[in-house]
Amino acid sequence: MVLVAPSLLAANFLRLEDECVMINESEADWLHLDVMDGLFVPNISFGLPVIEQVAKKTNKVCDVHLMIMEPERYTEAFHKAGADVLTVHIEACKHLHRNIQQIKSLGMKAGVAINPHSPINSLEDILGDIDLVLIMSVNPGFGAQTFIQHSLKKIEALRTLIDKNNLNVLIEVDGGVTLDNAKALVDAGVDILVAGNTVFKSQDPKATIRALKSFNRS
């Protein structure tokens, strides 16, 4: 069954504790936390203090996505703040294998994210060392963007590569995920759906999460 990871970036930050309670009471599996530094991406979101407080309030897996330069400088701090999964960008890491070793040595699951312009074959030499790949289906930095259709082909190619090598690597997708395209994403090979506005801006977020979880691979 597909995992659903609501993206806190779309939450109402004036009601953050209430939003965490709603997620706890929902069928969501993970809580997706986007960290932006204004350098790797043209936006700034939230950082360690917010994640530390959210981690205390949620009973979901804290899935932290670092859209930052030099993530190795902060890996230990995010672990202490409560990250269960830590994902870094292939485009931001000069020594990606070392970054992955660092994450896993602290007991977290390690993910690698790739931007829309990055080819799937750039992951071949690291796939055997990671727990998940995060396919960015929009250009990172802002919520409420339109899904890039070519992402479906990338997901299919990645699914083929993972299955061909008999690897236990999850595929996560983030950006423009809706109830209208979720089925196609799952059929293409996605294991984890990250959804921001689709969940938090819906009239009934819990029902929307339940609907996203209902999509099974054909």
Residues marked as catalytic: 34, 174
Spatial CB neighbours of 17, under 8 Å, sequence gap ≥ 6: 57
Label residue 82 left, alpha or beta by phi (over 0 means left) and psi (-120 to 50 means alpha). Answer: left
**170 forms bridges with which residues in the sheet?**
132
Q: How far apart (Å, rounded) are the C-alpha atoms in residues 45 and 50? A: 10
- Return d(Cα 114, Cα 103) in angstroms, integer: 17
Can you tell me which residue has the tokens 């996605």?
190
Interacting residues of 157 by C-beta distance below 8 A, sequence separation 6+: 120
